[in-house]
Amino acid sequence: MGLGHQCFGVRPADLLTCKQEGRPIAALTAWDALSAALVEQAGADVILVGDSLAMVVLGHATTLPVTLEEMILHTRAVGRGLQQPAAQQPLIVTDLPFLSYQCGGDAAVAAAGRVLKDSPAAAVKLEGAEPETIAVVDRLVRSGIPVMGHLGLTPQSVHQLGYRRQANDPLSQERLRRQARDLQAAGCFALVIEHVPAELAAGLSQELSIPVIGIGAGDQCDGQVRVTADLLGLTERQPPFSPPLLAGRQLCIEALRGWVAGLQPQSPPPPTNPVTPAAPHCSEPGLRDH
Ligand code: KIV
């Protein structure tokens, strides 16, 4: 997309330029070297190592169990999968997992600092905008750590919110708008907004100066993000707001079935003489005495 500086690829600040120039931001998730290479080749500006990897890749029922170590491990694999010269690589953003930032600023700086020190991520994403979270964002940003916010359907709050569409009435829409403004004021460089009414997301994209990146939030946002496995139809069921582009799961199963079925029968090996087990020696201690 021609973004970026000489020794880095896309930087957080480049997303603001995209918004100002009306260029839509494309963000896709990746979880390992293989998926990162696909997403990079597809021309994504941002690779999100989302905590959805807990469900998509690690087989958990929610995003809650994934650990900071796992997020770092997968982000490193994503970095190794990139093939473009550094100056053309997408921006890697890694999700801070549940409980790595909810316990306060010190814990959050330690967790986000680990992500930036020990992996190729250049930014972190976190969910929500309660006053405690805003304080954490402020602290991270003032520590030099770029932060992407995430409002609307926030899967780390699944036990409170479920996976339903959020902000359906005027009161909760006003609350979400206020939270978005708070995240912007605290220094977030971009905001993901998930599964909310399209008009709300469109209005926020107009109102905020930072880019609004939608998923299940209509097509009038500054950018779009998708879980790559959903788009490719690899997950068992895709969310209603993220229909698959191809029946990837079925295609893979059929291809693999064809391979299994095509294995050539082999002639069995000739029978060998059965080996008669040696009789125990009667003077062997233990055998005789028991
Ligand atoms: O974890 C994730 O993949 C995400 C996207 C759904 C935005 O947060």
Percent of the chain with pLDDT over 90: 88
Work out the pLDDT band at 273, boundaries 50, 70, 90.
confident
Q: Is the pLDDT of residue 244 over 80?
A: yes
Which pLDDT belongs to residue 288? Answer: 43
pLDDT above 90 (res 154): yes
| pLDDT reading at 284 higher than 60 | no
- How much of the chain, in percent, has pLDDT values that exceed 70? 92
> Is the beta carbon of 228 within 6 A of some atom in ligand 1?
no
**What is the pLDDT at residue 55?**
97
| pLDDT band (50, 70, 90) for residue 277 | low
Residue located via tokens 């997301």? 201
What is the model's pLDDT at position 272?
82
Residue nearest to atom 8 of ligand 1 (CA): 50
Predicted local distance difference test score (pLDDT) of residue 290: 40
- Rg of the chain over Cα atoms, rounded to whole angstroms, equals 25
Predicted local distance difference test score (pLDDT) of residue 158: 97
Q: What is the pLDDT of residues 67-97, one digit of tens each?
A: 999 999 999 999 999 999 999 999 999 999 9
The pLDDT of residue 2 is 47
What pLDDT sits at residue 237? Answer: 86
pLDDT, tens digit, for every residue of 156-191? 999 999 999 999 999 999 999 999 999 999 999 999
Q: Closest Cα to residue 157, out of 51, 241, 27, 231?
A: 51
Checking if the pLDDT of 287 tops 70, the result is: no
According to the model, what pLDDT value does residue 227 have?
98
pLDDT digits (tens, 9 = 90+) for 47-73: 999 999 999 999 999 999 999 999 999
Q: Is the CB of 97 under 6 A from ligand 1?
A: no
pLDDT at 271: 87
Point out the residues that are catalytic: 194
User: Residue 279: pLDDT band by 50, 70, 90 thresholds?
Assistant: low
Give the atom of ligand 1 at the shortest distance from the alpha carbon of 52: 1
> Residue 129 in contact with residue 183, Cβ under 8 Å?
yes
Q: Is 215 in the pocket of ligand 1 (CB under 6 A)?
A: yes
What is the Cα–Cα distance from 183 to 163, expressed in whole angstroms? 22
Residue-level pLDDT at 6 = 55
Distance 260 CA to ligand 1 centre (A): 34
Q: Checking DSSP bridges between strand 190-194 and strand 25-29, what pairing results, if any? A: unpaired
How confident is the prediction for the chain on average, in pLDDT? 93
pLDDT value of residue 3 = 52
Which of 25, 31, 48 for mutating ligand 1's site (highest number of atoms within 8 Å of CB)?
A: 48
Out of 215, 231, 242, mutate this one to test ligand 1's pocket (max ligand atoms within 8 Å of CB): namely 215
Could you report the per-residue pLDDT of 86-143, keeping only the tens digit for each?
999 999 999 999 999 999 999 999 999 999 999 999 999 999 999 999 999 999 999 9
- Span from the CA of 155 to the centroid of ligand 1 (angstroms): 8
